[in-house]
Amino acid sequence: MKAKKHNLSESHLSPAEDASGLRFGIVVSSWNSEITESLFRAAVSTLKSAGCPDENIFRTDVPGSFELPLGAKILYEQRKPDAIICLGCVIRGETPHFDYICSAVSAGIMQLNVEKGLPFIFGVLTTENIQQAQDRSGGTHGNKGIEAAVTAIRMALLKAGN
């Protein structure tokens, strides 16, 4: 039986999913900035629509997706947010570089979740080409920045016992 795809870009947070008292960090890769900036804008918009004030959203920029885990750890140590969203975009090239980067980034973010006991959200696009990245950062497949923010809110509330 085929599972129905659920696009969190179209999710609506319930009134109980109030982010007004929460603090969020967002780590943004500068590589593929056209894509990552779109993800960032969507994530911030989603956090704000859930009641999170501007002063409770902290941004840190890193050079590329490989640096996201360390950037997230530094942001955690400096700001102590309730959740951290890691936004990046890795596009497959002609070498195995893509596989190494994607593997290292996903493992690094997962390790932070377990070690810190805090939601570190994987908002990294791993695509075959620029069109797929554009489709997932505001195009035909929604915006994964929205999905990352919805996940961050829900996990932060879960951690808080709400």
Instruction: Please give the average pLDDT of every successive group of 10 residues along the chain, which has 162 residues.
Output: 54 81 98 97 97 98 98 98 98 85 97 97 97 94 96 96 82
Model pLDDT, residue 3:
47
pLDDT at 98: 86
Give the model's pLDDT for residue 5. Answer: 57
pLDDT of residue 58: 98
pLDDT of residue 34: 97
Q: Which residues are catalytic?
A: 97
Q: What is the CATH number of domain 39-160?
A: 3.40.50.960
pLDDT at 65: 97
CB 19 within 8 Å of CB 153:
yes
* Residues 3 and 137 sit within 8 Å (Cβ to Cβ): no
Output phi, psi for 52, to 5 deg: -75, 125
The token pair that represents 53 in the structure block? 């004030």
User: Under DSSP, is residue 37 helix (H, G, I), strand (E, B) or coil?
Assistant: helix
Report the distance separating Cα 36 and Cα 46, nearest Å. Answer: 15
Q: Which CA distances in Å does 33 have to 8, 96, 107, 136, 137?
A: 23, 22, 23, 14, 11
